[in-house]
Chains A and B, each alone.
Chain A
Amino acid sequence: MSDTTEYLSDLDAELARVGIRGARRERIVTEFADHLSCDPDADLGAPAALATQFADELGTSFARTAAFHVFLALALAGILVVIRAVALLPLTADGFSSADSVALLISAVAAQVAVVAGGLGLLRAIQLRGCGTIPRQEAAVLARRAGIGLAAGAVTIVAFPITQIYRAHPSAVAIGSQPTNLWWPLASAAGLVVLIAAAPAVVRAALLRPQAAGPAGDLLADLGPLQPVAARITAGSVNRLAFIIGAGLVIVVALAGVAANDPYDGILRGLLEGGAFLGGYAVLGRYLGIRR
C-alpha cells in the first residue's frame, strides 16, 4: 500500500470515527486525494486531527440545521394535527373507546413535549448564529432537543391512528364509514411524512462528534438578549426561573378558566399544567440542556 493510499485510508477511518459519513466523507477523501496528486509531498496533517477539525467546524452547522428542520417539521405537523382535530369533531363521545381517550391524552402530552423541545432547540440554534465551532456538550444538547422534539411529534401523530389500525373496535368502523373523516387519516399520514423528512438532519447531527471543550448553556442562555434581565430577576438561578414559569402557567390557565366562567376547572387545569411543566423540567431538564 502506498503512503498516499494509506494516508487516505486512515483519513477515511478517522472521519467515520467522528461521525462523518456517506457522501460528505467520500467527498473529503476525494478532495485530499486530488490535493496529494497535485503535490505528493504536501503536509496535510495527521488524519485524526483533521477529522476532529472537520467535526468541530461542521458541528455548529449540523446541529443548527437539525434544530431548524425539526422546528419547521413540527410547525407543519402541528397544522396537520389541527386539521385532524377538526376532522374528528363530528364524532361524538360515543364513538370513542377508553383506548382512544388514552391515545388522545398521550397525544396531547407528547404535543407539549414536542413544542417545548422543538422551541428550545430553535432558541439555542438562534443563539449559536455566527458561532464558529461548537463545544461537544452544546452539540449534544441541540441534537437531543431535535431528537426529542421529533420523537414526541411522531408520538403525537401516531398515538390515535394506532388505536384505529390495531384495534378493530366499533368506533374504527364508525370513523371509516364517515366520508368527512377521510381527512384525519390523511392528515396523520402527511404529518408523519413531514416529520420523517426532518429525521436525516437529526441523525447527521447526532452522529457527528465534535471534540471542542466547553460547557453547554442552560435555559438562561436560551433567552438571548433577555438573559441579563432574567438573570437579574432570578439571581442567575435556572431552578428559580423554571418555578416562575410554572407559576405563570398556573396563573394564566386559571385566569382563562375564570374568563370562561369556570374558575374551579381553570384552577385545576392550571395546577395540572404547572405541575406537568415542573415535572418535565425535573425529568428532562438536564437531558435537554435546560439546567446543568
Chain B
Amino acid sequence: MEAEQLKGHLDGLVLAVIAGEPKHGYAVIEALKVRSQGRLDLPEGTVYPALHRLERSGLLASDWSSTGRRRRVYRLTTKGERELGIRRQRWREFASTVETVLA
C-alpha cells in the first residue's frame, strides 16, 4: 500500500498500535509492519513527526524509559482512547459504505 493512500489514516493506525501497550518509536513502526503483514509501505522516519504531533494534541503521552537504553515511550491518553474509538467507528462506516457500492 502506497504512502499516498495512507494519508489521513496514519494517525488512527499509530493510535491503534499503541493502544495495546506503550511503545517507543521503533516498536511503533515494527508493529505497523507486523500487523499489516508488511503491506504498509511507510517511510519509517515520517512516523516520528506524527508521534510528536499526536502528543502535542493530547492524544498521546510519553516518558523516557526508566530501564535500559534512553528511549521515549508513548502511551495513549484517555483523550487518545476516545479518539481511537471515534476513528474506528468512522472507518467501519466508510468501509461498509464503499463495500456496499463496490459490491
Contact = CB atoms under 8 A, between A and B. Distances in A.
Given A28-B52, A31-B72, A57-B50, A45 B44 contact: yes
A42 interface: yes
Given A58-B56, A61-B56, A34 B26 contact: yes
B24 interface: yes
B49 A53 contact: yes
Given A38-B26, A39-B26, A43-B43, A31 B53 contact: no
B78 interface: no
Residue from the set B25, B26, B29 with the largest chain A CB neighbour count within 10 Å: B26
A237 interface: no
Interface in A4-49: 24, 27-28, 30-32, 34-35, 37-39, 42-45
B69 interface: yes
A268 interface: no
A50 interface: yes
A126 to B, nearest CB: 15
Given A43-B44, A44-B44, A61-B56, A34 B49 contact: no
B26 A35 contact: yes
B25 A35 contact: yes
Given A44-B44, A45-B46, A61 B70 contact: no
A96 interface: no
Interface string B54-71: 001100000000000111
Contacts of A183: none
Given A35-B26, A38-B26, A43-B43, A58 B72 contact: no
Contact of A34 (B24, B45, B52, B57): B24
Nearest to B53: A57
Q: Determine which residue in B44, B53, B72 has the highest number of CB atoms from chain A within 10 A of its CB, and name it.
A: B53
Interface string A56-77: 1110111001000000000000
Interface of B: 24-26, 29, 43-46, 48-50, 52-53, 56-57, 69-72
In the A-B complex, the 3 residue pairs with the smallest Cβ-Cβ separation, listed nearest first, are A44-B45, A45-B45, A61-B56
